[in-house]
Chains A and B, each alone.
Chain A
Amino acid sequence: MSNKEFIVAKDNDGKSILKFLIGELKPRGKFLTPFNIISFPVMIIGLFLIIIRFWKGLGAVSNVTQDIPWGLWKGFNVVTGVAFAGGAFVVTFMVYILNIHKYHSIVRITVLNGFLAYMFYAGALILDLGRPWHIINPLIGNSFGTSSVLFLIAWHFMLYMVAQLIEFSPAIAEWLGAKRMRKVLSGMTVATVIFGITLSTLHQSGLGALYLMAKDKIHPLWYSEFIPITFFVSSIFAGLSMVIFEGSISRRVFFNLISEDNYRSHDDIVIGLSKICSVTMFAYFFLQVLVFVHGQRWEYLNTPMGYWYLTEMLGFVLLPMLLFLFSYKNRNIGLVKVAAFITMIGIILNRLNVSIIGYRWDAAVRYIPSWMELIVTFAVIFTQIWIFRWVVNRLPVLRESPSWVNEQNN
């Protein structure tokens, strides 16, 4: 290498950046794991179905109807997926705004998870667009639909992905051994965190605000003018439950990457998160009760939809809230994980109840997703996990940063 500019990766044994990247692209570890055996065919079939979808139209793959135009790809991938990605703004809030350094070791993995979630769920949005070649229209000046909540969400998705990429970028710089770049990028962290939290507040609630105009179409037990607030509050514990869930899996899958210190501090973090979850879930439950009483909805309770509503509120909000509280008092890590899992199911139920199950619940033809929609949904999730795994195995996400980072900080 005659050109010194290219030799940036001194820590990587002085290899050129190109050789280094090619080396990193190679798969690592065993290929025939149970996860790979299940996920690989799903991804291949999913890709095939996506080609059919663009070739023959949305109706060839999806069961959405004229009355129920938003199906699984919007209701699950986008509306639910983004709630689960809320962990990033909560954790960065605690670490960089409240200065609670206990949670520092989970910032990177949470931000990475959030970034990939947004990337793939915004990607799922493109699959669902009938005329995706016009996706640039809301972003260029001549067609600003500023009265649309979806316009706000489109911009926020894009800006928040950039913010998360900047928040994560010091890890990329460390991986490439780019010392000066890391210094510049990590200097931007606090500003992007503040920007990112502001964006998250608005688009997490905005996903609920999307449904404000569908007042007569959503079952009255799930519709209220407070949807934006309930969506925002629930995104806090949805995101944290995802962090707990993902953390318990990462600990097993990537145990060789996690330093001993972080491995030990993990329990403390989980207990702390369970406390936050129980408090925000209490606020959420209280809010839902207020909405229910204020809206005088007693008459709907003794109906099938009413029982379904009670199942969601009691079984998937109140119960996990009490479990979080109990396990926080008793430092029961296993129970926290159970509570996180129930909470996640509760969030899926809640988002689907608003966007699909309770949406036009009175329609003549109900929407039930086709197997092809399900396959594509899982293909999107699996692809995200594959990329997540690739990054975690290579970049300093769970593992310690290279030694020169400490020198830089001091």
Chain B
Amino acid sequence: MSLQQIFFLVVSAVIVASAVMVVSARRMMHAALWLITSLFGVAIIFALLQAGFFAVIQVVVYIGAIAILIIFAVMLTRRSLEDPGGQLIRYWWLAALAGLGVFVALVGVLSQWSGFGASLPALSTQAPPGEVSQLGLALVSPDAYVLPFEVASVLLLVALVGAIAIAWDRKPPKG
């Protein structure tokens, strides 16, 4: 086993364990912190795959924006969102079975894929130095992803306008 594989296994174990902690932590704040650990682990996986851009974007978007907004929302609500009740429902084993089934099916499908056993160097030698600019070109070129990109932009714009409309401070009519 190479050093990279060991690193990957350790990071994946951390991701899965902290993802379990997200749903099992009793304090909302702790759940949010475990979520950050999990998301950061995914960023490390991206870095391991030599996708530096995605690693950094993962941190900027998920930790810098989404996780912080979640924590902000938790901070603004009750003092410490704690749930003392039971954490399992009656048919938890059914859900566990379904989850396991999906996992087995995914592994089964993925093991049929040709890239399943490929090692990293085979990918990295082909990667040109200007990977970020290639991504940028792909986002605006008509044969690639310009339509999804524009749709996402419009969606974000609508969300932005909607947020401003909701938060608008309507002054009472004069008189």
- The answer to whether A and B belong to the same complex is no
Report which B residues bind A (CB closer than 8 A). Answer: none
Report which A residues bind B (CB closer than 8 A). Answer: none
